[in-house]
């Protein structure tokens, strides 16, 4: 992903102006049309500019606007998805406008690029685009209500020079009622800044929570190795092993004790992926309490209190909230 060369926030009285600059492409966004027009006028007096109107494409992202969701007047929600909600592909009657459902999900997938707090919900609902049900559409409306209340939310990157890597890996056993497959998730931090995350359904059915957690650890290790390699290419090699936090002690024992491998030959590939990196000192495994497992946010829907606590630990902040 290309990196923006300039990101500027201007606040004048009640007007908020956000300016994104990449080479010769500029996006001006504001809650005041007058303030945005004044800024563009000032820029034109010093630079040769061409106003292309409302943004359509920027850094490979297509920006589309429509009123198809029809929920601008809804009451904001504090969470993106109801906890313990059991959605399945055959849950209730079919939704009568599947094209609208698919269109909304397609747009939400782009939003997950900067919003890890909705990754699980979007990934879950994206599974039903083939034949969405009424219950799936209600869940989408719940997600949109959450987004309405958090429009200024995004990732905060600290200027702290800490270059230590740490990661959290977690899994939710048999989370999918249709396939009984578990959901794996991980998040990787550089210092206190979240730089990589993923939430996805596992490729095979896990027979135990230890196995599902181990597969999540293996997925995280692969991405950790890529990040460490990238840091070396940038002449910023990691000075210490990466700590990988997991809330399942059995999974940690599998990696630390070769004897366990004889009992887990059906996950041999994942066993060696993690075990080899523990042996060569690249990865250090550490246990973390379930309530402090940040990746838990990416494996299941949570109640408001726990959800807000983990969102804060991800480094997500809202630019519209008072400091």
Instruction: Select from 190, 188, 187, 197 the least CA-distant residue to 160.
Output: 190
Domain end (from 43, 61, 79)? 61
Asked if residues 59 and 2 have their Cβ atoms less than 8 Å apart, the reply is yes
Residue-range definition of the domain harbouring residue 81: 66-151
In this structure, are 110 and 135 located in the same domain? yes
Q: Which two tokens stand for residue 57?
A: 């494409």
* Spatial distance between the Cα atoms of 205 and 267, rounded to a whole number of angstroms: 11
Among residues 14, 36, 61, the one where a domain terminates is 61
Based on the fold, state whether residues 195 and 312 are members of the same structural domain: yes
**Given phi > 0 = left and psi -120 to 50 = alpha, else beta, which region is 191?**
left
Do 179 and 210 share a structural domain?
A: yes
End-of-domain residue from the set 151, 169, 195: 151
Stretch 20-33: mean pLDDT: 83
What distances in angstroms separate CA 144 from CA 88, 139, 198, 235, 238, one per listed residue? 20, 9, 21, 42, 39
pLDDT (average), residues 262-276 = 70
In three-state secondary structure terms, 57 is strand
Q: Which residues contact 226 (CB under 8 A, 6 or more apart)?
A: none
Is-contact 93 132, C-beta < 8 A? no
The per-residue pLDDT for 266 is 58
Averaged confidence pLDDT in the chain: 86
Burial class (CB in 10 A: 0-12, 13-18, 19+), 143: buried
pLDDT category of residue 259 using cuts at 50, 70 and 90: low
Residues 74 and 195 both lie in one domain = no
Shared domain check, 163 and 129: no
CA 126 to chain centre: 14
CA distances from 135 to 93, 98, 106, 153 (A): 8, 12, 18, 27
Residue 323 lies in a domain: no
The reported pLDDT for the residue numbered 19 is: 85
When pLDDT is cut at 50, 70 and 90, the band that residue 27 belongs to is: confident
Position 245 scores a pLDDT of 97
pLDDT at 243 over 50: yes
In a domain, 50, yes or no: yes
31 and 146 part of one domain:
no
Q: 176 and 292: one domain?
A: yes
Give the number of domains in the chain: 3
Domain-located, residue 45: yes
Judge whether residue 4 has pLDDT over 50: no
Tell me, yes or no, whether 211 lies in a domain: yes
H/E stretch holding 193: strand 193-201
Strand partners, 6: 21
Q: Tell whether 1 is covered by a domain.
A: no
pLDDT beyond 60 at 2: no
Cα atoms in the 13 Å half-sphere on the side-chain side of 120:
28
**Residue 247 in contact with residue 288, Cβ under 8 Å?**
yes
Q: Write down the residue that tokens 């090699």 correspond to.
A: 237
In sequence order, the 6+-apart residues with CB closer than 8 A to the CB of 25 are 58, 59
Residue 31 inside a domain? The answer is yes
Which pTM does this prediction carry? 0.76
Is 168 found in the same domain as 310?
yes
Note whether 280 and 196 are same-domain residues. Answer: yes
Q: What is the CATH number of the domain that holds 211?
A: 3.30.420.10
User: Same domain for 70 and 41?
Assistant: no
Alpha carbons 267 and 261: distance in angstroms, whole number: 9
Residue 174 placed within a domain: yes
Q: Does residue 164 lie in a domain region?
A: yes
> Are 43 and 187 in a shared domain?
no
The string of pLDDT tens digits covering residues 182-233 is 999 999 999 999 999 999 999 889 888 988 998 999 999 999 999 999 898 8
Confidence label for 69 from pLDDT (cuts 50, 70 and 90)? low
Task: Read off the pLDDT band of 261 (50, 70, 90).
Answer: low
pLDDT for 67: 59
Beta-sheet pairing, 283-287 with 242-246: parallel
What is the predicted pLDDT for the residue at 8?
A: 73
Residues 132, 220 within the same domain: no
Query: Residue 250 has what pLDDT?
Result: 87
User: What band does 20 get if pLDDT is binned at 50, 70 and 90?
Assistant: confident
pLDDT digits (tens, 9 = 90+) for 162-185: 889 999 999 999 999 889 999 999
């Amino acid at each position: 992903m290309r990196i923006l060369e300039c990101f500027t926030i201007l606040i004048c009285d009640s007007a908020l102006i956000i300016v994104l600059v990449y080479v010769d492409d500029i996006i001006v966004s504001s809650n005041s049309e007058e303030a945005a027009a004044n800024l563009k006028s000032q820029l034109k007096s010093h630079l040769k500019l061409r106003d292309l109107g409302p943004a359509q494409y920027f850094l490979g992202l297509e920006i589309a606007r429509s009123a198809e969701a029809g929920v601008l007047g809804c009451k904001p929600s504090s969470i993106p998805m109801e906890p313990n909600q059991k959605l399945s592909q055959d849950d209730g009657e079919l939704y009568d406008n599947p094209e609208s459902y698919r269109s909304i999900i397609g747009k939400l997938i782009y939003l997950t690029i900067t919003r890890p707090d909705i990754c699980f919900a979007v990934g879950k609902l994206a599974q039903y685009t083939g034949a969405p049900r009424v219950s799936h559409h209600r869940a989408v409306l719940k997600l949109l209500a959450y987004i309405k209340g958090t429009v200024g939310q995004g990732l905060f990157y600290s200027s702290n020079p800490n270059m230590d890597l740490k990661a959290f890996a977690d899994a939710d056993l048999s989370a999918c009622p249709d396939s009984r497959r578990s959901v794996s998730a991980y998040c990787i931090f550089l210092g206190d800044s979240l730089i990589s995350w993923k939430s996805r359904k596992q490729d095979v059915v896990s027979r135990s929570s230890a196995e599902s957690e181990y597969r999540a650890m293996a997925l995280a290790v692969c991405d950790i190795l890529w990040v460490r390699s990238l840091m070396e290419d940038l002449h910023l090699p990691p000075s210490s092993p990466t700590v990988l936090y997991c809330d399942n002690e059995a999974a940690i024992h599998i990696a630390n004790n070769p004897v366990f491998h004889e009992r887990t030959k059906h996950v041999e590939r994942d066993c060696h992926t993690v075990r080899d990196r523990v042996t060569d000192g690249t990865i250090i495994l550490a246990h973390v309490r379930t309530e402090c497992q940040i990746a838990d946010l990416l494996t299941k829907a949570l109640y408001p209190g726990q959800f807000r606590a983990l969102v804060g630990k991800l480094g997500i902040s809202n630019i519209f909230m008072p400091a």
